[in-house]
Amino acid sequence: MNKKTVQQSIAILLILSFLLALFSCADNTKDKQNSDSDDPKQTEDTQETTKLSDGLTDVDMQGYVFNIFNFDTTWFVWGNTRILAEEQNGDIVNDALYKRQVEIEERFNCKLKTAEVSDTTEDFRKNVSAGDATYQLYSIYDQNFGALLPYMADCNSLPYLRLDEKHWNPSATSIYNFSDKQFALAGNISLSVVNCAICLVFNKKIYQNRFAGESMYSLVRDNKWTIDKYFEIATAVGSDLNGDGQWGPTDLYGLSSSFKGYIGALMTGAGMGFTEVGDDGIQTFNLHRNEAAISLVNRFMEVLDMPGFNYNEDTQVWNQTPDLFQPGNALFSITSTRNVDVLRVMEDDIGILPLPKYNESQDRYYTPAFGNSLWVLPKSIDVSSEGENIGIILEALSFAGYYDIIPQFKEIVLKTKSARDNESEDMLDIIFDSVIFNFDMNILFDSQFQMTIFPAMWKARSAGNIVSICEKNSPTIERYIRTFYRNIEAAE
């Protein structure tokens, strides 16, 4: 073999070696890609690290100061209205609030500030009447919405608000839209909406002692959690524990709840109410004219009168005295998700459930959240000069509230500290994603129902008087509703 032939052979061998190595690398890369794509844990981790975007442009607000007038913690104690945090302190919700605040301030070159009082009602009225434009946003009590209508600006005048997106709780926010004007917002600027969400909690020990083998959570998942099933279970546990022949606070009952919570929450959960929108878009009080609704309320009253279902010494419709659930004397309690955290002191394990449906054909669960806080824009603000900044900040606050702060409240505070089972996690997702506000319980209750039909029904405690109670009080309630709509029409 001559020198030239040897050189050609070596060249060929080198080319073959290079091609072999190249194909080998390609196969390894393909195998690695296939391996990675088949690894669900890695896919999950990748998804978790993908941060959702609010879609807002990072504008420079040049030090703009956004002032919020809010409740302090002395009166509005049943809901968490905190928006900002002064510093991190190790509390997961506080630190999430602080992180959101810092990120918004740095991103848009603005400053967020709050002023707080026990009740914002009179300050809101007084400041707006005086033309005071110090505060761009006010928090108000939902039951005062009708009285404060003349002082509210239309939030639809603000750009950037995507009120049909879930971070604004559209089934709650939408009830404050009248004549195409958005007078209030019920988004996730604070935790108020979700931690005032009403649910059922149950004592797992009592349930398992009487219904061994049937999972309450399966009833929810299999669309079997209905009013019928709820009453079947709740009316089967009552027991005269001390054997004295008398029903007292130390016996065992099916439910611990205020009358307001019992009637108002279960009606909403069943997709029914005390009012109805007519063809003209106007709400009317029609409980006594709604056959299905009046039948349901009659049933509530009949069950309430059953021995062993509920024991309540309180004369007020919004109280339960004494509390039966925490001492272990009731299977169920109708309460808010905020109050669930208080139940961590119980010896017995508890579970969380959404309110039952009317029947299996109901297409979704409904979670009422009445007695809540709302966010309103004062008429004294010049939207033409501040609207852009206000809209951006509100959208950023509510978006981050839903995706960054609620998970802290839900995943950690409730799931690991209070509800002592993993299956309540799914139930909380259902509860929070089905929050709804109603004209009757979120607007009319304090001004009308708690002074008319509710105390009358509570006093009578009879199914036979509901229609006559409604007929007697209907003129007063309808008069208020007419005044309410006149104020809507007068709003500029």
Residue 185 covered by a domain: yes
Residue 248 covered by a domain: yes
C-beta of residue 70 within 8 angstroms of C-beta of residue 139: yes
Q: What is the model's pLDDT at position 220? A: 97
Are 218 and 333 part of one and the same domain?
yes
The lowest-confidence range among 52-66, 175-189, 335-349, 404-418 is 404-418
Q: Does residue 390 carry a pLDDT above 80?
A: yes
Q: Does residue 178 carry a pLDDT above 80?
A: yes
The lowest-confidence range among 140-144, 157-161, 196-200, 213-217 is 213-217
For every residue of 158-227, DSSP letters joined together read SSS--TTSGGG-HHHHGGGEETTEE--B-SSSSSHHHHT-EEEEEEHHHHHHHSTT--HHHHHHTT--BH
> Which neighbouring-strand residues pair with 239?
252
Number of domains in the chain: 2
Q: Does residue 439 carry a pLDDT above 70?
A: yes
Residue 218 — very low, low, confident or very high, per pLDDT cuts 50/70/90?
very high
Are 299 and 381 part of one and the same domain?
no
Q: What is the model's pLDDT at position 414? A: 67
Count of beta carbons in the 10 Å neighbourhood of residue 346: 17
Q: Order across the sheet with 330-336: list the strands.
A: 253-256, 330-336, 198-203, 350-353
Q: Does residue 382 carry a pLDDT above 90?
A: yes
Query: What number is the average pLDDT over the span 435-440?
Result: 98
Residue 14 covered by a domain: no
Q: Does residue 25 carry a pLDDT above 70?
A: no
Residue 78 covered by a domain: yes
C-beta of residue 105 within 8 angstroms of C-beta of residue 392: no
Residue 469 covered by a domain: yes
Are 237 and 159 part of one and the same domain?
no
Q: Does residue 38 carry a pLDDT above 50?
A: no
Q: Does residue 14 carry a pLDDT above 50?
A: no
Query: What number is the average pLDDT over the span 218-236?
Result: 97
Are 190 and 202 part of one and the same domain?
no
Are 460 and 339 part of one and the same domain?
yes
Count of beta carbons in the 10 Å neighbourhood of residue 476: 14
Residue 56 covered by a domain: no
Give the SS3 label for residue 90.
coil
Mean pLDDT of the chain: 90
Are 180 and 269 part of one and the same domain?
no
Are 92 and 179 part of one and the same domain?
yes
Q: What is the model's pLDDT at position 285? A: 98
Residue 132 — very low, low, confident or very high, per pLDDT cuts 50/70/90?
very high
Are 450 and 464 part of one and the same domain?
yes
Find the CATH number of the domain harbouring 74. 3.40.190.10
Are 446 and 460 part of one and the same domain?
yes
Residue 23 covered by a domain: no
Domain containing residue 458: 198-368+434-490
Residue 33 — very low, low, confident or very high, per pLDDT cuts 50/70/90?
very low
Q: What is the model's pLDDT at position 463? A: 87
Helices 466-490 and 291-304 cross at an angle (nearest 10°) of 130
Q: Does residue 47 carry a pLDDT above 70?
A: no
Are 345 and 383 part of one and the same domain?
no
Q: Does residue 39 carry a pLDDT above 50?
A: no
Cα 245 to its chain centre, rounded Å, is 42
Are 342 and 385 part of one and the same domain?
no
Residue 215 covered by a domain: yes
Task: Give CA–CA dist 100/382, Å, rounded.
Answer: 26
Which one-letter DSSP state was computed for residue 152?
B
